[in-house]
């Protein structure tokens, strides 16, 4: 189905028509602006005269970046709504306040977090965000625990698996993450200096591991996962904000999949931020902080799962099982993390961490990402925990003629 | 929903009302008899004056064995219909001819295979059935390949996963196979002589593996599996019948699960047959034939998957992936096989292979099953293939005073 699209002129009447929003904003005094990149969705911020505001998100029926030649069902907002429903139930403080789905118009209404930053933007700017990595680890733990057989009955989980199917969006991930970067495909692009590095990825040993991880993505229906939990899907709080340091958004890829996929998306994107900081010679304390993010997220995830395990529903799942489960989730995360980093260098959707660097630095950072990511994918079975995670593999020569510029990190797009 | 139940007096009018059966049997000259154990379903054979016949299967709204205190949705016949739909599409010669589902009445109409034998009954009688183990291996391969991402698009598979959810029946398996045998539960029973053997199963190392296999059953949505593929769910052909030696039936547990679960059910039930034959001192050639069934099924499965692999849809899944996938399916099968054997000794649903033995032989066979099954579960990661499958572990003393009776094996119930 295709529904009529909102624009800045029609949003006030739309909000006025929703009685459930009467207490949230004053529909008679709204100012509306369109925000967001508009690639997949329309996003509006509506602010009333008292300064109260909400965000409206409506799915577009195609990928605007590519054009109407890439149609995309507006039904993906139903998947996003399922994601928010689960997040509100299991990790309510770690997502924007959610005012529900209007299924007829394919519109979600959410808390306006314009005063917060997108985490990737903060990372690009060299800003440290204490607690954010911990909070997203807790987010993954709480949603995974609550939506899986760790925290719910198997009947409820099986019903939720059926209700949460999201084939069209999963297919995008399957193609962009697991397939296209490893073959000749028009979606791919990279700096010419990286030719050898990219082509080196196409050997049988690595491709076997990529296939194993793809199959795991396709078949491991463990929990309702976010499905695209990179640093661009996380808001970080302005300094001094009470409560959590991070909130997760953009849940339209939500589906029942492997818990390690979300954690891997974070690990892979931390790797991009690390590579950027390294080639920019960011201050040592900042680089050290970035190097610790993977452990911060994992430790928070593991601790939260262990805390909740005391109340787990199915006593046939033993404490020994939990230990083995955590090991497997961690290994999955490392493998998926490697692939999520590689796709950002080679595939369709680039990341500002690297794209906003100058050419030689960009190539050096990208090379470091590819080399490191590969060790993650192929070595994941031997990585017991964050302390053993293969470190960033910087090329021997980054840019010998480059001035140290840690005083002027770039702000990404 | 509960629908009116058929009985022998109403079946003719029911068949007469179905135009699609007019060419199959003559509804005006039918003789009807009720067959089957009637625990979960009504099963009728309707035969016309010309000797043509069909089977009708209607689901009961409760477990008759236990009574109306154990209600069970008649919707499970919808799962069975999905199973037959898939089998007809992917392995049509290896199931009874299927005349479709009457959703309003919860009735399936199937080929009458009364002239065939239930495989377990033949095994209990000491009858060898050449080719049956091979054919069920091919059945699992064809349905698994066709309903999984090996043979279908991921979108189709994800949609099928959603459509094939079967929580109520899966829950029965979860409880009876993976939970109850390992705790004190009123469903359990065993010969007093086995007390030590049964209680020995309740140690942490084994329970961790049971938990891992339960979680795999709960989350590995690989293919539409049969869900209860023991030797009582297989018909074997009378000698000289052209075509396949086996056909699979009773698909009401069908769901998207691990491919190794069906293969494991077969392995576990072959183990029961082997233990029976051993304590009965069956002829060496018969025992050798039974000992080869696991390999016969596995080899047929593997060969069929490899044959079909030439046409597999997703080229991101490499040949190396296939090898790893087969290893994993085999290991799963060995583990699930062990648990399926154990539940038949300890849990609610016993098997005639052991139940029709006299007391001391029954205990000896049961002990052999428990000991062997345990080596399967705990050693499955080290078993490369059927040649390495730990052999039947017979107790040192079976029944020293027993006369050799291989000339008079029992026929099971």
Please write the tens of the pLDDT for every residue from A318-341.
Answer: 999 999 999 999 999 999 999 999
Buried b (16+ CB within 10 A) or exposed e, B367-390: bbbbbbbbbbbbbbeebeebeebb
Query: Which residues have CB under 8 Å from A305's CB, separation 6+?
Result: A141, A144, A145, A150, A322, A326
Q: How far apart are CA B94 and CA A220, in angstroms?
A: 29
CB–CB contact A155 B168 (8 Å) = yes
DSSP conformational letter for A220: B
Closest CB to B204: pick one of A158, A182, A318: A318
Task: Report the range of poorest mean pLDDT among A175-184, A291-300, B36-45.
Answer: B36-45
Radius of gyration of chain B measured on its C-alpha atoms: 21
Q: How far apart are CA A409 and CA A123, in angstroms?
A: 10
Task: State the pLDDT at residue A307.
Answer: 98
Query: Which residues have CB under 8 Å from B404's CB, separation 6+?
Result: B281
- Residue of chain B minimizing CA distance to A222: B219
CB–CB contact A320 B222 (8 Å) = no
Query: Alpha carbon of B386 to those of A206, B252, B301, B380: distances in Å?
Result: 29, 29, 12, 11
Structure tokens at B84: 């037959």
Q: How far apart are CA B156 and CA B160, in angstroms?
A: 6
Q: Note the pLDDT tens digit of each residue in A33-90.
A: 999 766 778 999 999 999 999 999 998 887 766 777 778 888 899 999 999 999 999 9
Task: State the pLDDT at residue A262.
Answer: 98
Which residues are B57's β-sheet partners? B43, B108
- Contact predicate B164/B224, CB 8 Å: yes
Q: Does A378 touch chain B (CB under 8 A)?
A: no
Q: How far apart are CA B362 and CA B368, in angstroms?
A: 10
Structure tokens at A28: 């008679």
Those residues of chain B that have pLDDT short of 70 are 1, 37-38, 64-65, 397-413
Chain B contact set for A161 (CB, 8 A) = 161-162, 165, 221
CB–CB contact B215 A317 (8 Å) = yes
Dihedral of CA atoms B338, B343, B346, B352 in degrees, nearest 10, equals: -100
Which residues are B98's β-sheet partners? B110
Chain B residues 347-366 with a CB less than 8 Å from chain A: none
User: How far does the CA of residue B257 sit from the closest CA of chain A (Å)?
Assistant: 9
User: How far does the CA of residue A133 sit from the closest CA of chain B (Å)?
Assistant: 28
User: How far does the CA of residue A227 sit from the closest CA of chain B (Å)?
Assistant: 15
CB–CB contact B171 A149 (8 Å) = no
Query: Which residues have CB under 8 Å from A394's CB, separation 6+?
Result: A275, A278, A279, A364, A368
Buried b (16+ CB within 10 A) or exposed e, A377-404: bbbbeebeebeebbebebeeebeeeeee
User: How far does the CA of residue B86 sit from the closest CA of chain A (Å)?
Assistant: 18
On the question of pLDDT at A410 being above 50, the answer is no
CB–CB contact B167 A154 (8 Å) = yes
Beta strands in A37-163 (DSSP E): 41-47, 53-59, 62-63, 67-71, 98-102, 107-111, 117-118
User: How far does the CA of residue A216 sit from the closest CA of chain B (Å)?
Assistant: 9
Residue with tokens 């999905």: B82
Q: How far apart are CA A266 and CA A228, in angstroms?
A: 9
Element (H, E) at A257: strand A255-257
Q: How far apart are CA B353 and CA B362, in angstroms?
A: 9
Q: How far apart are CA A21 and CA A54, in angstroms?
A: 9
Which residues are B257's β-sheet partners? B223
Q: How confident is the model at residue A412 (pLDDT cuts 50, 70, 90)?
A: very low
User: How far does the CA of residue B109 sit from the closest CA of chain A (Å)?
Assistant: 27
Comparing C-alpha atoms, which of A140, A114, A96, A85 is closest to residue A329? A140
Residue with tokens 């477990």: B63
Comparing C-alpha atoms, which of B228, B267, B271, B264 is closest to residue B371? B271
Which contacts qualify for B14-20: CB closer than 8 Å, 24 or more apart?
B14/B56, B14/B105, B14/B107, B15/B46, B15/B54, B15/B56, B18/B102, B18/B109, B20/B99, B20/B100
Task: State the pLDDT at residue A61.
Answer: 83
Angle between helices A132-147 and A76-90 (to 10 degrees): 100
CB–CB contact B218 A157 (8 Å) = yes
B117-388 homologous superfamily: Aminoglycoside phosphotransferase (APH), C-terminal lobe (3.90.1200.10)
SS3 B46: strand
Q: Does B221 touch chain A (CB under 8 A)?
A: yes
User: How far does the CA of residue A366 sit from the closest CA of chain B (Å)?
Assistant: 23
Which residues are A71's β-sheet partners? A62
Structure tokens at B97: 């001819």
Comparing C-alpha atoms, which of A221, A208, A168 is closest to residue B223? A221
Q: Does A152 touch chain B (CB under 8 A)?
A: no
3-state helix, strand and coil shares in percent for chain A, rounded to the nearest 5: 50, 10, 35
CB–CB contact A163 B162 (8 Å) = yes
On the question of pLDDT at A400 being above 70, the answer is no
Chain A contact set for B170 (CB, 8 A) = 154, 158
Determine the average pLDDT of the residues in A271-280. Answer: 98
Chain A residues 89-148 with a CB less than 8 Å from chain B: 148
Percent of chain B residues topping a pLDDT of 90: 88
SS3 B228: coil
Q: List the alpha helices (DSSP H) in A237-350.
A: 259-279, 284-291, 293-309, 319-346
Backbone region of residue B67 per phi and psi (left: phi > 0; alpha: psi in -120 to 50; beta: other values): left
Closest CB to A316: pick one of B158, B210, B317: B210
Q: Does B381 touch chain A (CB under 8 A)?
A: no
Strand order in the sheet with A246-248: A117-118, A234-236, A246-248
Closest CB to A212: pick one of B159, B314, B324: B324
Structure tokens at B88: 């007809």
Domain boundaries, chain A: 11-111, 117-388
CB–CB contact B167 A158 (8 Å) = yes
Radius of gyration of chain A measured on its C-alpha atoms: 21
Looking at 3.30.200.20, 3.40.50.720, 3.90.550.10, 2.40.70.10, the CATH number of the domain A11-111 comes to: 3.30.200.20
Q: Does A381 touch chain B (CB under 8 A)?
A: no
More confident residue, B399 or A310: A310
SS3 A63: strand
B76 — phi, psi (to 5°)?
Answer: -60, -20
CB–CB contact A170 B178 (8 Å) = no
- Residue of chain A minimizing CA distance to B161: A162
Q: Does A174 touch chain B (CB under 8 A)?
A: yes
Structure tokens at A11: 């949003």
- Indicate which of B73, B167, B179 best probes the interface with A, i.e. most A CBs within 10 Å of its own CB: B167
Closest CB to A316: pick one of B167, B179, B222: B179
Closest CB to B165: pick one of A162, A179, A220: A162
Closest CB to A171: pick one of B155, B168, B218: B155
SS3 B56: strand
CB–CB contact B211 A320 (8 Å) = yes
CB–CB contact A165 B162 (8 Å) = yes
DSSP conformational letter for A68: E
Determine the average pLDDT of the residues in A301-322. Answer: 96
- Indicate which of A144, A147, A151, A167 best probes the interface with B, i.e. most B CBs within 10 Å of its own CB: A167
- Contact predicate A262/A226, CB 8 Å: yes
Buried b (16+ CB within 10 A) or exposed e, B206-242: bbbbbbbbbbbbbbbbbbbbbbbbbbbbbbbbeeeee
Closest CB to B208: pick one of A158, A183, A324: A324
B255 — phi, psi (to 5°)?
Answer: -165, 170
Query: Which residues have CB under 8 Å from A116's CB, separation 6+?
Result: A235, A236, A237, A238, A241, A247
Chain A contact set for B165 (CB, 8 A) = 158-159, 161-162
Q: How far apart are CA A340 and CA B21, in angstroms?
A: 55
Report how far apart the first and last C-alpha atoms of chain A are (Å, whole number).
33
Report how far apart the first and last C-alpha atoms of chain B are (Å, whole number).
33
Task: State the pLDDT at residue B408.
Answer: 38
Q: Does B324 touch chain A (CB under 8 A)?
A: yes
Q: How far apart are CA B88 and CA B97, in angstroms?
A: 8
A273 — phi, psi (to 5°)?
Answer: -65, -40
- Residue of chain A minimizing CA distance to B212: A321
Q: Does B220 touch chain A (CB under 8 A)?
A: yes
Q: How far apart are CA B62 and CA A289, in angstroms?
A: 60
Q: Does B62 touch chain A (CB under 8 A)?
A: no
Element (H, E) at B249: none
Q: Does B184 touch chain A (CB under 8 A)?
A: no
Closest CB to A208: pick one of B162, B214, B320: B320
Q: Note the pLDDT tens digit of each residue in B85-139.
A: 999 999 999 999 999 999 999 999 999 999 999 999 999 999 999 999 999 999 9
Chain B contact set for A157 (CB, 8 A) = 218
Task: State the pLDDT at residue A313.
Answer: 85
Q: How far apart are CA A219 and CA B328, in angstroms?
A: 13
Structure tokens at A96: 């924007």
Chain B contact set for A154 (CB, 8 A) = 167, 170-171, 174, 218
Dihedral of CA atoms B123, B124, B127, B129 in degrees, nearest 10, equals: -10
């Amino acid at each position: 189905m295709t529904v009529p699209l909102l624009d800045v002129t029609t949003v006030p009447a739309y909000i006025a028509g929703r009685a459930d929003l009467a207490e949230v904003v004053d529909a008679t005094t709204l100012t509306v602006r369109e925000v967001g990149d508009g690639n997949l969705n329309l996003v509006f911020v509506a602010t009333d005269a008292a300064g109260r505001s909400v965000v409206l998100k409506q799915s577009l029926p195609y990928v605007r970046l590519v054009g109407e030649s890439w149609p995309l069902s507006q039904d993906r907002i139903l998947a996003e709504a399922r994601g928010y429903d689960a997040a509100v139930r299991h990790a309510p403080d770690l997502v924007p306040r959610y005012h529900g789905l209007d299924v007829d118009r394919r519109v979600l209404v959410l808390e306006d977090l314009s005063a917060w930053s997108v985490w990737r933007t903060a990372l690009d700017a060299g800003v440290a965000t204490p607690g954010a990595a911990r909070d997203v680890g807790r987010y993954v733990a709480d949603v995974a625990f609550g939506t899986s057989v760790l925290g719910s009955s198997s009947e409820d989980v099986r019903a939720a698996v059926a209700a949460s199917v999201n084939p069209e969006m999963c297919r995008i991930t399957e193609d962009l993450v697991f397939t296209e970067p490893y073959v000749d495909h028009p979606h791919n692009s990279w700096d010419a200096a990286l030719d050898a590095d990219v082509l080196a990825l196409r050997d049988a040993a690595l491709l076997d591991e990529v296939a194993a991880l793809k199959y795991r993505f396709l078949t491991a229906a463990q929990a309702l996962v976010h499905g695209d939990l990179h640093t661009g899907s996380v808001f970080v709080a302005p300094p001094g904000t009470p409560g959590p340091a991070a909130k997760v958004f953009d849940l339209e890829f939500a589906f029942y999949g492997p818990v390690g996929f979300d954690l891997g998306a974070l690990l892979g994107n931390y790797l991009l931020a690390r590579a950027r900081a390294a080639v920019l010679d960011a201050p040592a304390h900042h680089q050290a902080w970035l190097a610790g993010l993977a452990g911060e997220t994992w430790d928070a995830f593991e601790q939260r799962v262990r805390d909740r395990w005391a109340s787990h529903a199915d006593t046939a799942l033993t404490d020994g099982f939990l230990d083995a489960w955590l090991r497997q989730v961690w290994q999955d995360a490392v493998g998926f993390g490697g692939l999520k980093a590689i796709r950002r260098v080679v595939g369709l959707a680039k990341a500002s961490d690297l794209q906003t660097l100058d050419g030689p630095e960009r190539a050096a950072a990208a090379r470091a990402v590819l080399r490191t990511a590969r060790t993650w994918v192929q070595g994941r079975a031997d990585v017991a925990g964050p302390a053993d995670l293969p470190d960033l593999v910087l090329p021997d020569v980054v840019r010998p003629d480059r001035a140290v510029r840690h005083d002027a990190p770039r702000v990404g797009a």
